[in-house]
Amino acid sequence: MTASTTDRIRRHLVGLKMPRALETLHTTLSRIEQGEVSALEAIEALLGEEFSTRESRRIKMALQTARLTTVKSLSGYDFSFQPGLDRHRVMALAELDFIERKQCVHFLGPPGTGKSHLAIALGFEAVKAGKSVFFATLAELVDSMRKAEREGKLRERVKFLSRYSLLIVDEIGYLPLGSGGGNLFFQLVNACYERSAMVMTSNRGFGEWAEIFGDAVVATALLDRLLHHAVVIPIEGNSYRLREHAALVPETMRTRSSLLDPQAQQPIKRRPGRPPKEPRDPITG
């Protein structure tokens, strides 16, 4: 290959903004000259290097936008520590069909059982697949919406949060929401209903949502939407974080009764069948 041809290739790569391909051009040309690769293989290698670099950059930026600052993977989850968890069911979620179906995935279990890990891992898979993702704790979401309400920008905030393909809401039931928090969250859930997929984690059963959100009507309206197209995965195990100090934890705190106990759900009653498109709004009445 002549010097002028090489120079033109370099100029093309610069014009096309392909810095990684430009960086590996000399090595690739040397491999061609030595007969290690064919011209077609060299082109594939150059383009592959550039694509990998751009994809890594895209994923990094998307993770930052999603607020997934700590990356977790499904391969990094210790399923052997939670033998009661259906691994195949969780891995099936990684196919991301639930996002296309606009479903809500609930991970329920005591603290330390890996609920957040699994939620973040699904978010990571969604980011790699090119889906838009946003992660926040329930308290963070409600605080941001409360601030937007004070500034007269609640509608814009709800619209912003509901535009993501996947919204991950972590730590439902861990912190008190304060006055009006349930109503604000309902507005977001209502905007996402059948438009966006959601993943939620909680250490509390659905029967306790009236207590969490401070209003049985709001809790019922939330569950009406969040359980309509839902995948519920309970994790009935001990804390992974406390595995090395299990002997120090009181027996009564090591496990909890089923979060899906039908008796625990009696305070929350859902009407049978598919809810109407225009249900009663518990905020405005």
Cα distance between the two ends of the chain: 76
Tokens of 108: 């329920």
**210 within 8 A of 172, measured Cβ to Cβ:** no
Q: What per-residue confidence (pLDDT) applies to 260?
A: 56
Phi, psi (degrees; rounded to nearest 5) at 272: -70, 155
Predicted local confidence at residue 236, as pLDDT: 83
How many angstroms separate the CA atoms of 230 and 88, rounded?
A: 17
E strands along the chain, which residues? 104-108, 133-137, 166-172, 197-202, 230-234
**What's the pLDDT at 240?**
55
DSSP code of residue 76: G
Distance of CA 253 to the CA centre of its chain: 28
- The pLDDT score that the predictor gives to residue 192 is 97
Report the predicted TM-score, pTM, of the whole model to 2 decimal places.
0.78
Q: 3-state class of 285 per DSSP?
A: coil
Decide if 22 contacts 11 (C-beta within 8 A): no
Give the DSSP letter of residue 278: S
Q: DSSP strand E in 145-268: where? A: 166-172, 197-202, 230-234
For the chain, which domains are there? 3-65 (no CATH), 89-265 (3.40.50.300)
* 175 CB burial (10 A radius; 0-12, 13-18, 19+): middle
CA distance 62 to 202: 25
pLDDT value of position 238: 63
Query: If the chain, 285 residues long, is cut into consecutive pieces of 10 residues, what is the mean pLDDT of each piece?
Result: 82 93 92 91 93 94 94 92 91 98 96 93 97 97 97 97 98 88 96 97 94 94 96 80 46 50 42 43 39
Q: Tokens 């030595």 appear where?
A: 34
Residue type for 23, please? Answer: E
